[in-house]
Chains A and B, each alone.
Chain A
Amino acid sequence: MVMQLKRSRALVGTGILLAGVMALGGCAATETPEEPQEVDWYVNITGTLTEAVYQSVIDDFNVEHPNVTVRLLNSGGQDYATFLATLVASGNAPDVVGSTPITPDNEEQFVDLSDEAWAQEAAAEPGLGQAGLFGDAIYYVPTAYQISGVFFYNKTMFEDAGITELPTTWEEVDEAAAALKAAGYVPIATSGGFVPGAQLRMQAYQEFMDDGDQWLEDRYAGDATFVDSAWQNVLERTQRWIQEGYVRSDALGLDYGTVAADFATGGYGMFPIGSFLNANVDQATDPADIGVFPLPSSSSDDLPPRAVNPTMGWSVLTAGRHEDAGRTLVEFLSTDSDAINILVKADGGLSPYTSFEMSPLLTELQDLGDASTPISFERGDNVPPPGFPQGVLSLSQKLFTGSSPADIAAEMDQWWTSNVGQ
């Protein structure tokens, strides 16, 4: 108590002294310049998210925070996550990072921003805001998203095949595929690589969300399996597409880039894939007339749930050296409307927070997004285990090599048991 009294007296004395010095000096009430700070911002530079785009955001940031020097780091062509791991392991961790999957396995690497009022406010927004929640922690606030799965379709081919109404059920998708095939087109696009796994995942998650299931949580708890679940339903549907000739039987020999380019210029009737395909269509030199419709949903909600991948969310690394400046930068990137506009536009993402002129296809996608409840199915504690895409989803390719859906689903369960347990 005595100590506190002494300290307050000392503070009062110091205040009087400072006021006296200022008065004696005749100085006006000018602000003391803030201390210079530095922050390392690790970004993913792409064909559209160029260094110039990031620099323009930094320039805006520096108008508000002239004392903070932002150093831009990029992976120099290497895989973003791999190079980040190298930076962290070598003791050169950046302060601010984006597009980094946060899992229970690595969440200690990220600063919890839940003590920031702006982060709490953003995370309270239903849908996208909540996608950054990890239990009680907030490691990032996404400002944009990509829809995990939509049907892109060729309007001209649909017209030729006599399809007047866009499919709203899986039966109608099959009918549309049959009509396209009868008209001489390849109805549904797929390829090797990540595509069969992505197509499997997007359909299964839609079914889980429609049913209000938390399948991943249940699977972790051992209360659900791949067998006799939506996974097996989707595998059976895909097998039917292969058997009916709705997809090319040699599709595994094709890569995504080739198929995407073919689709954009009129090679296929439909392409169930993530909204990121819009970039291929918009950049094609002679694009076909392409539209989108949502994955069939059994939800009766006005805004049915849609699985999304949150993007443009920024995190502060615990291993970085400038946490305070990092927090300042992340707040700016997550709340400044100009910065969000610049970055989301360049990335080709969808966002409820942006207002820039979009291509017709992106507008259709945004309308679709606005008419949905975006849900990040693989978020926070509800993320699949490490190796899930490589270990499990690649098994979906076995449909093309003759395995049955039940056998593949059983293999997925085996993988889970040996890697996760239960």
Chain B
Amino acid sequence: MTAISKGAVGRVSRPTAPLGRRLAGLAEFPMAFPAIALFALFELLPTVLAVVYSFASLDSFGTFRGFVGFDNYVRLLSDANSVRALGVTAVLASVGTVLINVIGVGLAVLLNHPGTIYHLYRAAIFYPFVISGLVVGFIWRAILNPDGAINSLLRGIGLPAIPFLSDGNTALATVIGVTIWNSLGVTVILYLAGLQTVPAELLEAASVDGANAWQRFRKIVWPLLGPTVTINIVLTSIGLLRTYDLIVSLTGGGGPAGQTETIAYRIISLGLAGGQVGQSSAGAVLLFLATIVLAGVVLLLRRRNEDIT
């Protein structure tokens, strides 16, 4: 009964668009078609194929050999290397996201001033982001390897070398550190853009009322930065979940002993070098689902927070 009345109300209350506007809407479709077609071809189709392949057996040439149910998922999740790669990715994504955003907000606040020197600082911080992750990895590998610039310097002054890349415990920390260096630029720029939207009058009024810098930040700036924080957390965490290129070049594919192997690297390694296309696709589907869930949870929490405030 309720459903019928709701539907009836909805039907009655919904305004009908004029015929001209509806025709205009139809006319817009052909204009959007190229973008829709490209999206379908390069995003939607591969995603659907990955889902299909994840339930199939394929040879190393990618030739279909029949469906195997959830066998690829079971094998993937019972493989110690893949489970470890999931753990490494979780640590990298969570620690990396927190640190990139905390440091990003801090630097953005420090750099949110007019003047040439601040522009220079911003450019310097943004610069690493424009370098390919692969190149970043090679550069830092040259600096941090056991015979690299830093360790040669340390040995030269009589200090012991630091196993940045050769010890399982420090290698992941090194990967996180280099990732932060590489990704910080865009985060800072987004926070700077967010800070520009905070009305100066509000801050002035708070100052007049006796609020100190921390109180102004906590009570005015931080709440107004909310949407930017959400965007940054979603972008950073999704980016870190897909970390691949840095692993190839910085740790030679997840070394030492797989301690820095991410799930994205494992997916590609299984599918291309290992010829296990089915397991690789199962990993890709799991990563895809994890990304959707993560983005959904962050957006949901953000929306709930906005409703409360």
Contact = CB atoms under 8 A, between A and B. Distances in A.
A386 B81 contact: no
Contact of B256 (A101, A105, A253, A390): A253
Given A252-B256, A387-B279, A395-B257, 19 more contacts: A84-B61, A105-B60, A106-B59, A192-B251, A192-B256, A250-B166, A250-B167, A251-B166, A253-B166, A254-B147, A254-B166, A386-B60, A386-B276, A387-B276, A389-B273, A389-B274, A390-B270, A397-B257, A418-B75
B63 interface: yes
A-B residue pairs, 8 tightest by C-beta: A253-B166, A252-B256, A397-B257, A253-B165, A250-B166, A387-B274, A250-B146, A386-B275
Contacts of A418: 75, 78-79
A411 B81 CA distance: 10
A106 B60 contact: yes
Contact of B258 (A250, A255, A258, A397): A397
B274 A391 contact: yes
Nearest to B254: A394
B272 interface: yes
B163 interface: yes
Contacts of A82: 272
A411 B80 contact: yes
B250 to A, nearest CB: 10
B236 interface: no
Contacts of B274: 386-387, 389-391
B79 A391 contact: yes
Interface string B258-276: 1100000000011011111
B255 A192 contact: yes
A32 interface: no
A81 B61 CA distance: 8
Given A250-B146, A398-B257, A192 B62 contact: no
A81 B269 CA distance: 13
Contacts of B87: none
Nearest to B144: A253
Given A105-B275, A394-B258, A418-B78, A253 B164 contact: yes
B211 to A, nearest CB: 50
B163 A391 contact: no
A386 B163 CA distance: 33
23 contacts: A79-B273, A85-B62, A88-B63, A89-B61, A103-B60, A106-B59, A108-B59, A193-B255, A250-B146, A251-B166, A253-B146, A253-B163, A386-B276, A387-B276, A390-B270, A390-B274, A391-B79, A394-B258, A397-B258, A401-B256, A411-B80, A415-B79, A418-B75
Given A254-B146, A397-B255, A400-B256, A419 B75 contact: yes
| B63, B253, B256, B274 — most chain A CB neighbours (10 Å) | B256
A265 interface: no
B3 to A, nearest CB: 49
Contacts of B128: none
B111 interface: no
Contacts of B165: 192, 252-253
Given A250-B166, A253-B165, A258-B147, A401 B275 contact: no
Nearest to A398: B257
B287 interface: no
Interface in B53-73: 59-63
Nearest to B62: A89
Interface residues of A, number: 41
Nearest to B77: A418
A84 B270 CA distance: 16
A114 interface: no
B73 to A, nearest CB: 13
B275 A255 contact: no
Which of A103, A192, A251, A403: most chain B CB closer than 10 A?
A: A192
B163 A250 contact: yes
B226 interface: no
A391 B147 CA distance: 28
B302 to A, nearest CB: 39
Nearest to B142: A258
B252 A109 contact: no
Interface string B63-99: 1000000000001001111000000000000000000
B145 interface: yes
A366 to B, nearest CB: 30
B247 to A, nearest CB: 12
Contact of A258 (B145, B164, B270): B145
A411 B257 CA distance: 13
Interface in B152-180: 161, 163-168, 171
Contacts of B75: 418-419
A192 B252 contact: yes
Interface in A26-43: none
Nearest to A386: B275
B253 A253 contact: no
A390 B255 CA distance: 12
Contacts of B146: 248, 250-251, 253-254
A389 B269 CA distance: 11
Contact of B252 (A101, A105, A255, A411): A255
A106 B58 CA distance: 9
B44 to A, nearest CB: 18
A253 B146 CA distance: 6
A414 interface: yes
Nearest to B259: A401
Given A254-B147, A418-B75, A109 B81 contact: no
